[in-house]
Amino acid sequence: MNRLCSRCGDHKPSDKFASLKSGHFAAECKQCSNARTKAWAMAHPERSLARTTEWRKANPVRRKQILEKWRKANPGKWKMIVWANNLKRQHGLSLQQYNSMLSKQGGVCAICGKSDKTMLAVDHDHSTNRIRGLLCTRCNPGLGFFGDSKDNLVSAVRYLHDNRWTSREHDGVTATLQIGSEVAK
């Protein structure tokens, strides 16, 4: 059954109107009601915040139900909100600042130059908390495993350079490992 919205004048199905406690439907459609409520909140921010705070205190169970329903309906948005809040809390970065850093790095990891399927991690100096850049999910823990030590990283590079495999062992086949200028079997 279609109803007439008193605000926009459109005929809409009944499910587009809020049902009231009296068992009747609201005179205006949900879309118009939401637009009117948002306009009022923008015009009266202090009163709107006070009303919202009061409603949240008076209706904690209902608030939780509404939030859970929204989270389930918007998992991608919810994940981004949580991620942005953690970014701000842990590193003091806004989403805009993160995106600016990402853009300056060309959208890739500052070490390996590869893009990551997930968001790049914020790398920081653990002793000063100074942010160094954005790293992928392989390079960021890699630095951590080396204890953020330049000496350890230089030693690792030297190790890789000096110890190159010339062949591999697989299913009983003996490998040859070059160690410096010597060859061991």
The number of distinct structural domains making up the chain is 2
Out of 58, 79, 96, pick the residue that ends a domain: 58
Looking at residue 170, its pLDDT comes to 52
For residue 112, give the CATH number of its domain: 3.40.1800.10
Positions in the chain whose pLDDT score sits under 50: 177-185
Whether the predicted model's global pTM rises above the 0.95 cut? no
Looking at residue 157, its pLDDT comes to 87
Looking at residue 176, its pLDDT comes to 52
Within-domain flag for 140: yes
Within-domain flag for 76: no
Residue with tokens 């030693």: 155
Looking at residue 181, its pLDDT comes to 44
Within-domain flag for 12: yes
Within-domain flag for 29: yes
Within-domain flag for 21: yes
d(CA 35, CA 29): 10
Looking at residue 185, its pLDDT comes to 41
Q: Let me know if 66 is exposed, middle or buried by CB neighbors in 10 A (0-12, 13-18, 19+).
A: exposed
| Domain range for 173 | 108-184
Q: What is the pLDDT of residues 71-92, one digit of tens each?
A: 999 999 999 999 999 999 999 9
Q: Let me know if 123 is exposed, middle or buried by CB neighbors in 10 A (0-12, 13-18, 19+).
A: buried
Within-domain flag for 41: yes
Out of 19, 42, 58, pick the residue that ends a domain: 58
Secondary structure of 19-67 in HEC code, one letter for each residue = ECCCCCEEEEEHHHHHHHHHHHHHHCHHHHHHHHHHHHHHCHHHHHHHH
**Sign of the Cα pseudo-torsion (36, 39, 43, 47, in order):** positive
Within-domain flag for 68: no
